[in-house]
Amino acid sequence: FFRLFEGRSPRKPEKLKTLFCYFRRVTEKKPTGLVTFTRQCLQEFPDWERSQKKLSRLHVTYEGTIESNGQGMLQVDFANRFVGGGVTGAGLVQEEIRFLINPELIVSRLITEVLDHNECLIITGTEQYSEYTGYAETYRWARSHEDKTQRDEWQRRYTEIVAIDAFHFRRFLDQFSPEKIRRELNKASNFLQQPAAYCGFSRPNVPPQHLSAIATGNWGCGAFGGDSRLKALIQILAAAEAGRDVVYFTFGDVELMRDIHSVHAFLCEKGQTIGDIYRLLLRYYNEECRSCSTSGPDVKLYSFIYNTVESYADSTD
């Protein structure tokens, strides 16, 4: 933690307040319960191009947060491949904030090596000790938080968090290439697949209709250069392959909320399978991105999807 005492960044005092709240609480009253850390490696992946599964249900909202409104769901940590990112340094975005308000997550930094492309980290049972306002430069510790989340038979809080690291794109167009799309789909599917085929999170013999939804958002966007509309579609495909529903938080972005909702409704209405949509992504790269010399193609991804699916429907009428 010594890096939190270095420099004059206004972020550091707020991070320290959040951590001091935790230490004050646990010294006043000894904590009970259990937290488990599971490093998961996936060796086999879906055949995305041939998948005949349809999209699962989606709820998308610009209000709320994963930690406040994702109770009972599998909550996604938009992780650095070095889990925790800059939590004990200068970082203060989604992952670092989650590690600060649930400080037991910081233990993972001691026991988790850098995540490989086919790995994720699952943390079950952590407790939230603080509330906050703002984000990044505007982050402020607000108050102590009393976590009312129930416990399971192991005395873990019913809070399941999965850390998955997105690829860091130096060039915007790189993320639309087939190999990068497969990488992100497989990274996402690493935490979404059912245990019968992969080493997922659900209990053995639990039918898909009993699996929890995924609480997620703009994974790998911002500093990592991800396109929010592509990343949303990638996560929706991975969840559908797993038979899980999705609750997607756009963190105040109303336009993004409407775009994601509209394209999901359109694809469902047209009966598009996961394989169909995956092939649309490949076509988009080949037809719009491969020969593009600018920072981005003239035709946006969702517009391409609408036009291509409609054109195919018209040609078969």
Between CA 51 and CA 32 the distance in angstroms is: 45
State yes or no: 43 annotated in a binding site: no
Count of domains for the chain:
1
DSSP bridge pairs for 131: 143
Query: What are the E-state strand segments in 56-136?
Result: 58-61, 74-79, 119-124, 130-133
Domain with residue 116: its CATH number is 3.40.220.10
Residue 40 φ/ψ, nearest 5 degrees: -120, 130
Among all chains, which residue has been given the structure tokens 């009428």? 317
Between CA 242 and CA 63 the distance in angstroms is: 26
DSSP bridge pairs for 247: 59, 215
pTM over 0.85: yes
95 is catalytic: yes
49 is catalytic: no
Options 95, 127, 227, 241, the catalytic residue: 95
Per-residue pLDDT tens listing for the chain (317 residues): 777 777 778 889 999 999 999 999 999 999 899 999 998 877 777 788 999 999 999 999 999 999 999 999 999 998 888 999 999 988 899 999 999 999 999 999 999 999 887 788 999 999 999 999 999 999 999 999 999 999 999 999 999 999 988 877 777 888 888 888 877 777 666 555 433 222 233 333 557 777 889 999 999 887 787 889 999 999 998 888 888 899 999 999 999 999 999 999 999 999 999 999 999 999 998 998 888 877 778 889 999 999 999 987 666 65
| H/E segment holding residue 268 | helix 254-269
Options 67, 77, 165, 288, the catalytic residue: 77
Residues spanned by the domain of 155: 2-315
State yes or no: 135 annotated in a binding site: yes
67 is catalytic: no
* Residues 94/13, Cβ–Cβ less than 8 Å: no
Options 67, 96, 184, 288, the catalytic residue: 96
Tokens (6 digits) for 49: 């191009």
State yes or no: 194 annotated in a binding site: no
